[in-house]
Structure 1
Amino acid sequence: MYETTQLKEKWSLMFKIVFPILVTQVALYLISFFDILMSSRYGSEDLAGVAIGSSLWIPVYTGLAGILIAITPIVAQLVGAKKKDEVRLIVQQGLLLSLALSIFISIGLFFVLEPILQIMTLEIRVEKIAKSYLLAMIIGIIPLFAYTVLRSYMDALGKTRVTMIITLLSAPINVCFNYVLIFGKFGFPELGGAGAGYASAITYWLVFLITVGIAHKQRPFQQYELFKNWQRVQFSKWKDISTIGIPIGLSIFAETSIFSAVTLMMSTYSTEVISAHQIALNFTSLLYMIPLSISFGATVLIGYEVGAKRFKDAQTYSWLSVSTAILFSFFSACILFFFREQIAGIYTTDETVIQLTVQFFVFAALFQLSDAIQAPVQGALRGYKDVNVTFIMAIISYWVIGLPIGYLLSKFTDFGPFGYWIGLIVGLTAGAITLTYRLIRIQRKKQDAAH
């Protein structure tokens, strides 16, 4: 990365950082996308099972992996402050922390998975598929978390194109293993929805090994010698990472789990409703990759500028990120509204599911603007290492405001399952407003401190 002086230069650098992150996020997302899409082609029960399994998996993974994302602002500020000698130590400790988290969550899922699924009163086959899918995913937790650390480190150095190339390999690898294991090709067992879990786990291992090779041998990563002179566990460094990372992880968990909670609460509806909801959520999540990628880019750029104590530049990057995301949100909303039937037809040929999905897409289009604001604002706040208040705001917006409103509308009005999506819109909007106010306050505080 480098210092910029003109707005055009800033936008150009932001694009260079964000575009590879976007491609990377889409490639990572495509793993779950193809899990659901290819499972839907196998059968509606497999689609529902993978949808439930994915709804449990995504908030757990994103919440805990969010702790490790703290590597990005920490390394970015170290590089901006020209303290490169400390980079290797913080990354090594991040990898050790990722291993500890992986073991913890693997053991936890193994013991609590069956009781959680039994509470949900699912159809027997759907429950069996969801359980098998999640048990298979456990195999890939260790490499997935370790990859998150290495990717955060590479992104913090501004080398987002490298992580883009690595992650682009994941989608075709995952599709190939999905094809083989879901449908039982080339002599492999026909596992249905469970096969998607095994395919994802294998993909995570391969992508991690490729990343390790690049981090060890390629420039500019080679100069940091990440895998030499390993230090024993330093809980002080774990604390540094966790102090920033836990609020980030909890904020991400609060946001992603609200969607999963809605999916789980919809388990009382028919398999067709669950499938339609999951299809709408799955495609909407794909569009969300744009503001999310801008958010990650904002963290890198703002962290670098804050580390160099160029607070005016950090402020410029903040609002440049938000305005760019808002611009793209209008395109996303148009895609969802005008092409909703065609998109639904990609996922399924079941006419009932298609018609339900089309209705969900209308509500999905409405919260594109809120998503476009709150995501880059969160990324900017992480660049400032301001994470604690952000977590509290996320909890209030999504769980105190959004989910209760959705529940009331679904149970006591004619909106039915669509009431939950109205609640999501209200929660996301509340989050966008409160987070923007927080960002303005932090920027003013930094400017005053500089003077």
Structure 2
Amino acid sequence: MEKLRPHLRPTLLLAYPVMLSQLGHVLVNFVDSVVVGHIGKVPLAAVGVGVSTTSVLLVLGIGLSMGTVPLVAAADGRRDLPELGRLLVASVWMSALAGLVLAGLGQLLPSLLYLLGQPSEVVRLAGPWVQVISLSLFPLMVFQGFREFAAGLGLTRQAMWLSILANGLNGVLCYAFVYGRWGAPEMRMMGSAWATLIARGMMAAFMAAYVLNAKRLREERAAVTSLLPAGATIRRAADLGAPIGVQMALEVGAFGLSLLMAGWLGVTTEAAHKVAIDVASMTYMAASGIAAAATIRVGNLRGSGNLGGARQAGFAAYWLTFGFMGVMAALLIMTRHIVPYVYITDPQVVAQASTLLLVAALFQVSDGLQVVGLGALRGLEDVKVPSVVALLAYWAVALPLGYFLGFKLGMGAPGVWTGLLVGLTIVAVVLLQRFRRETEPEFAATLAASAEEPAAV
């Protein structure tokens, strides 16, 4: 533990802005849910269905953009300015193009909602909301393109402040549009979607302005020789980002499908699931901030040739996450009967949400450790195997087990969530062991030696 101490402070300094920035994505949904939840449980359930479907697209895009981070961190560790210039252009182009594609795909989602076995009144409200919220994926991805490049250089506070500002704007606009306050039209549930679109557009504009004008980045901008992306650079970023996006989509998709399973049990259960998943998502995104710091620290140290330091930085992030998520688990247990009232006062929804929050408390540590494991491995540019682990753990174990417990054994939504707990724990254990092995000096030396052997003729 003594060897890890020097890495705790640098990791925290990188992590807390990312934690707040990542929380921004979830707080948008939190504000939407709280404001809409006071209209009734059907609109709350509709927002839940909308979020569960569009979130798969959102995290697929975010994961793709994150492929830039370890490359930028490693290039910065070498102070390879030409490569940093190429990565800046590639990051923005890749994210913007992905945003266009994802926004277009989102327009097709409403036609699929009717196939998911959800209550008809919920689907009717969710369809238009999904179409508007999907449009916001384009500015969000533009924001990500600039943000992830800056994050790879260790510049994380700017995105934090922008996320705080955007969430404040979203909260004000959401309240005004939903209830028709301060001269705004009363749009009810749809108002929350339009508020999110406007807030994300502001985030994109301000993040772009920072990267393109900040004095701190003048050397990286000066290294840009073409505004068109280099094919090899964008392929490298996509090769890392695509598996990250797939892994994140698999995880979020598993949680999204669990919400749809809750919908099969009725509107009340679906609304309760929405409350509990919102709370769990906030603690998860906070832990993902530490994971992002682990990616930057591990990638930078590895890029400078210090694999031992990279190993220590990764384990420092593990311990920080373990402590943080342990505290969150205790808080959830103590407040599980109070938190649901922030969203809704329906006694049946509150009772079911309280039960689900207890299960959520149980998987806090596993959830945190699996996301920091993913972050540390990204710093090693190890992304494909973790994606396979996620596929098997969530879709071959967690969801079938959850369905069996929830529907065959009659446990309902808590059974579905127990399946998720098992899946998260499997991923956490496997990734911890993989990071431990990948950073062992003997294993790294074997890989280096094999890479230097001449190819057989």
Q: 1:170-319 to 2 correspondence within 5 Å? A: 170-225=166-221, 230-319=226-315
Decide whether the 8 Å contact of 1:298 with 1:318 is kept in 2: yes
Q: 1:394-405 to 2 correspondence within 5 Å? A: 394-405=390-401
Q: Are residues 1:347 and 2:324 paired?
A: no
State which of 70, 75, 78 in structure 2 corresponds to 1:73. 70
Q: Which residue of 1 aligns with 2:406?
A: 410
Which deviates more, 427-436 or 306-315?
427-436
Decide whether the 8 Å contact of 1:46 with 1:192 is kept in 2: no
> What RMSD over aligned residues (CA atoms) do the two structures have, in Å?
1.8
- What is the number of equivalent residue pairs in this alignment? 446
Decide whether the 8 Å contact of 1:407 with 1:419 is kept in 2: yes
- What is the CA–CA distance in structure 2 between the aligned matches of 1:260 and 1:226, rounded to whole Å? 43
Give the AA of the match of 2:100. I
Give the AA of the match of 1:275. A
Q: 1:82-231 to 2 correspondence within 5 Å? A: 82-111=79-108, 113-225=109-221, 230-231=226-227
Q: Which residue of 1 aligns with 2:46?
A: 49
Decide whether the 8 Å contact of 2:22 with 2:285 is kept in 1: yes
Decide whether the 8 Å contact of 2:53 with 2:256 is kept in 1: yes
- What is the CA–CA distance in structure 2 between the aligned matches of 1:259 and 1:226, rounded to whole Å? 43
Give the AA of the match of 1:258. A
Unaligned runs of 5+ in 2: 450-457
Give the AA of the match of 2:435. L
- What is the CA–CA distance in structure 2 between the aligned matches of 1:43 and 1:120, rounded to whole Å? 22
Unaligned runs of 5+ in 1: none
Q: Which residue of 2 aligns with 1:321?
A: 317
Give the AA of the match of 1:146. V
Give the AA of the match of 2:377. L
Give the AA of the match of 2:13. K
- What is the CA–CA distance in structure 2 between the aligned matches of 1:117 and 1:28, rounded to whole Å? 23
Q: CA offset at residue 331 of structure 1?
A: 0.8
Query: How big is each residue's C-alpha offset from its partner over 1:28-71, in whole Å with a ceiling of 9 and x where there is no partner?
Result: 32111101111101222211111100000112110122011111
Give the AA of the match of 2:444. K
- What is the CA–CA distance in structure 2 between the aligned matches of 1:344 and 1:138, rounded to whole Å? 27
Q: CA offset at residue 449 of structure 1?
A: 5.0
- What is the CA–CA distance in structure 1 between the aligned matches of 2:206 and 2:338, rounded to whole Å? 37
- What is the CA–CA distance in structure 2 between the aligned matches of 1:255 and 1:114, rounded to whole Å? 22
CA separation of 1:110 and 1:27: change in aligned 2, threshold 3 A: closer
- TM (norm. structure 2) is 0.94
Decide whether the 8 Å contact of 1:42 with 1:183 is kept in 2: no
- What is the CA–CA distance in structure 2 between the aligned matches of 1:172 and 1:315, rounded to whole Å? 38
Q: CA offset at residue 348 of structure 1?
A: 1.1
- What is the CA–CA distance in structure 2 between the aligned matches of 1:228 and 1:438, rounded to whole Å? 37
Among all aligned residue pairs of Structure 1 and Structure 2, give the percentage whose two residues are the same amino acid: 24
- TM (norm. structure 1) is 0.95
Decide whether the 8 Å contact of 1:130 with 1:194 is kept in 2: no
CA separation of 1:122 and 1:189: change in aligned 2, threshold 3 A: farther
Q: CA offset at residue 276 of structure 1?
A: 0.5
Q: CA offset at residue 128 of structure 1?
A: 2.4
Q: Which residue of 1 aligns with 2:453?
A: none
